């Protein structure tokens, strides 16, 4: 890496505090208009740059990586999920990749809790009714939803965010079940009062609610495909704050429309910002625009992580959040 301030290309506008600090520490090439950059625009912007800072809205695929100037040695992602970055291609080009784990755990778990409550209690549907001016008052049989207390929640992916969800829903009186690549340590399991299901299909068939909290990888792509969704009970709700690609969205929309699944709370989609059209017509689905980490505190903390990763890398230390190919 050349001497002097490292040249850092940032693909999207970041919080003011983060950009200010970046401009002090680096020769930062910012994106003030916040337009989505094409692959070619990213490659061009990286001319003579040392570091690329993308986000989930960029597709950092093999083609883009292979065409980056040789000067780029680090991709410091603003976000925890790295499914939009071809890690294999980055490794082949000897480009280090980092992300921002830990700092958005609570915010994402809070959003999961919001959706776990909003979908069965018909909160957004009710809000729409009020705004339409058509509400004519309380009635014993009006807009009846489903209780969540006493129900079983199956968490798919029991990492940091999954565990934070488990802690929250204990407070709602739900029982916690989970499926994960690895079983949790006995003490953690006991603390969370969580029941492990080695067999995902078995768990799906026994739950009232499902929360997806695993990363999107080759293994988890369409993990909830039509066959798996068909295992859910008709009164079950699905909440997804992880990645849209983990669910076969078209299959789920169809089942929600047919009443084969009771409802869903979604913060992420297969082809963001496009939404499966069938979902838009359904009253039993709460749709949020990828807001999991969208708090002032979370986004600033994510930016600070990006800065620490870049600083450590340029100072020849191991960046704390290096992502390894799995
Ligand atoms: C992430 O960090 O991966 C989120 O999805 C974007 O905030």
Distance CA 244, CA 29 (A): 30
Taking only the tens place, the pLDDT of each residue in 71-128 is 999 999 999 999 999 999 999 999 999 999 999 999 999 999 999 999 999 999 999 9
Task: Give the binding-site residues of ligand 1, using a 6 Å CB cut-off.
Answer: 56, 79-81, 104, 292-293
Dist. CA 268 → ligand 1 center (Å): 10
Taking only the tens place, the pLDDT of each residue in 143-182 is 999 999 999 999 999 999 999 999 999 999 999 999 999 9
Dist. CA 286 → ligand 1 center (Å): 19
Active site residue 272: yes
Taking only the tens place, the pLDDT of each residue in 14-37 is 999 999 999 999 999 999 999 999
The answer to whether the beta carbons of residues 189 and 183 sit under 8 Å apart is yes
- Which of 324 and 126 is assigned the larger pLDDT? 126
Quote the DSSP letter at residue 36: P
Active site residue 219: no
Mean residue pLDDT of the chain comes to 97
Q: Whose alpha carbon is nearest atom 5 of ligand 1?
A: 81
Taking only the tens place, the pLDDT of each residue in 226-242 is 999 999 999 999 999 99
Q: Whose alpha carbon is nearest atom 6 of ligand 1?
A: 79
Q: Where in the chain is the domain with CATH 3.40.50.720?
A: 7-103+295-323, 105-287
Peptide bond into 273 cis (omega under 30): yes
Taking only the tens place, the pLDDT of each residue in 186-214 is 999 999 999 999 999 999 999 999 999 99
Taking only the tens place, the pLDDT of each residue in 42-73 is 999 999 999 999 999 999 999 999 999 999 99
pLDDT confidence of residue 2: 67
- Which ligand 1 atom lies nearest to the CA of residue 99? 2
Q: Give the residue from 315, 253, 324, 240 showing the smallest Cα distance to 282.
A: 253
> Containing H/E element for 196?
strand 194-196
Catalytic residue among 29, 122, 228, 290: 290
pLDDT tier, 326 (very low <50, low <70, confident <90, very high otherwise) = low
Query: ∠ CA 305-89-249 to the nearest 5 degrees?
Result: 75
Residue 217: half-sphere exposure toward Cβ, Cα within 13 Å: 11
Could you tell me the CA-to-CA distances from 259 to 117, 207, 223, 227, 237 in Å, in that order? 19, 16, 21, 16, 11
Query: ∠ CA 126-129-130 to the nearest 5 degrees?
Result: 90
The answer to whether the beta carbons of residues 5 and 23 sit under 8 Å apart is no
Q: Whose alpha carbon is nearest atom 4 of ligand 1?
A: 79
Q: Whose alpha carbon is nearest atom 2 of ligand 1?
A: 79
What is the best residue among 289, 292, 294, 309 to mutate for testing ligand 1's pocket, by most ligand atoms within 8 Å of CB? 292
pLDDT tier, 1 (very low <50, low <70, confident <90, very high otherwise) = confident
CA 173 to chain centre: 25
Query: What is the CATH superfamily name and number for domain 7-103+295-323?
Result: NAD(P)-binding Rossmann-like Domain (3.40.50.720)
- Which ligand 1 atom lies nearest to the CA of residue 302? 2
- Which ligand 1 atom lies nearest to the CA of residue 293? 7
CA 18 to chain centre: 21
Could you tell me the CA-to-CA distances from 250 to 58, 149, 207, 225, 256 in Å, in that order? 23, 30, 22, 10, 10
> Containing H/E element for 153?
strand 152-156
Catalytic residue among 27, 272, 304, 322: 272
Dist. CA 81 → ligand 1 center (Å): 5
Count Cβ atoms within 10 A of the Cβ of residue 46 and give its class: 0-12 exposed, 13-18 middle, 19 or more buried.
buried
In this predicted structure, the answer to whether residue 4 has a pLDDT above a threshold of 90 is: no
Quote the DSSP letter at residue 296: H
Query: What is the CATH superfamily name and number for domain 105-287?
Result: NAD(P)-binding Rossmann-like Domain (3.40.50.720)
Quote the DSSP letter at residue 213: -
- Which ligand 1 atom lies nearest to the CA of residue 79? 2
Dist. CA 192 → ligand 1 center (Å): 25
Q: DSSP H helical segments within the chain, as ranges?
A: 16-25, 39-45, 62-66, 87-92, 105-118, 123-132, 160-170, 186-192, 200-206, 226-229, 249-258, 277-280, 296-314
Catalytic residue among 243, 249, 270, 299: 243
Mean pLDDT within 290-314: 98
pTM, to two decimals: 0.96
Dist. CA 117 → ligand 1 center (Å): 22
The answer to whether the beta carbons of residues 45 and 21 sit under 8 Å apart is no
């Amino acid at each position: 890496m050349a001497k002097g301030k490292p040249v850092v290309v940032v693909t999207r506008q970041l919080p003011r505090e983060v950009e200010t600090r970046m401009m002090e520490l680096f020769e930062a090439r910012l994106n003030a208009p916040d337009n989505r950059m094409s692959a070619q625009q990213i490659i061009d912007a990286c001319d003579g740059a040392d570091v690329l800072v993308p986000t989930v809205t960029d597709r950092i695929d093999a083609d883009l990586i292979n065409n980056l100037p040789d000067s780029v040695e680090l991709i410091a992602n603003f976000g925890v999920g790295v499914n939009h970055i071809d890690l294999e291609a980055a490794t082949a080009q000897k480009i280090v990749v980092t992300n921002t784990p830990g700092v958005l755990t609570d915010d994402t778990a809070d959003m999961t809790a919001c959706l776990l409550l909003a979908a069965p209690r018909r909160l957004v549907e009710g809000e729409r009714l009020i705004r339409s001016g058509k509400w004519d008052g309380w009635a014993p049989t009006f807009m009846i939803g489903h209780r969540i207390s006493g129900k079983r929640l199956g968490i798919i992916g029991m990492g940091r965010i999954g565990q934070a969800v488990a802690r929250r829903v204990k407070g709602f009186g739900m029982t916690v079940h989970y499926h994960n690549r690895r079983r949790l340590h006995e003490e953690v399991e006991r603390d969370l009062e969580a029941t492990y299901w080695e067999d995902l299909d078995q768990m799906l068939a026994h739950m009232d609610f499902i929360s997806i909290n695993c990363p999107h990888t080759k293994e988890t792509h369409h993990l909830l495909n039509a066959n798996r969704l068909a295992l859910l009970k008709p009164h079950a709700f699905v909440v997804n704050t992880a990645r849209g690609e983990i669910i076969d969205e078209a299959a789920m929309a169809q089942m929600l429309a047919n009443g084969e699944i009771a409802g869903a709370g979604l913060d992420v989609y297969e082809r963001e910002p496009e939404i499966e059209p069938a979902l838009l017509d359904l009253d039993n689905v709460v749709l949020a625009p990828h807001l999991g980490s969208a708090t002032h505190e979370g986004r600033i903390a994510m930016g600070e992580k990006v800065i620490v990763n870049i600083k450590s890398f340029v100072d020849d230390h191991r960046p704390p959040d290096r992502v390894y190919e799995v």
